[in-house]
Structure 1
Amino acid sequence: MALLRLASAVPSGLRALLVLRASAWACLLCFTTYTERVSICRMFAGLQGPRIDQCKEALTAAFQGLSDMEINYEERSHLHDNFTQMTLSLQEEAAAGGSFEVAFPAAAEKMKRAILELKKGIQEVARRFRCQGCYSTLCDLPLDCPVQDMTLRTRDASYFRDMPRARGSLARIRPVQPTHRGTFCCVIQHDQRPLARLYFFLNVTGPPPRGETELQVVFRKVLRWAPRDVEMIEPWRPSLDELLARPEALTLGNLVLLTAVIALVSATATVLLWMFCRWYLSGD
Structure 2
Amino acid sequence: MGWWWVSLLLVLAPWLPGVHPCLLCFGPPMQWTRLCHDITRTSLKGPQQQHCLEALAEASVPLAPVTVGSSQRETLREIIMDALHFLEKQKEIKPFEVSLQEAINIIWVKLSQLEEAPACIPPCGYQPAARIFQCATCRLVDCQFPLDCPVQDVWVHEDEAITLHCDVPFAVPPDLPITWMFAKDIRTQDLALFEELQESLGEPPSLTLQDPTLGTIACRLGSPSETLARKYFYLNVSGRSVEAEQGLQAQFRAVLRWPHSRTPLQPTVSLELGLALGFMGLVLLLVASWWCFWKPPEPPRPL
Higher relative contact order (CA 8 A, sep 6+): 1
More strand by share: 2
TM-score, structure 2 length as denominator?
0.40
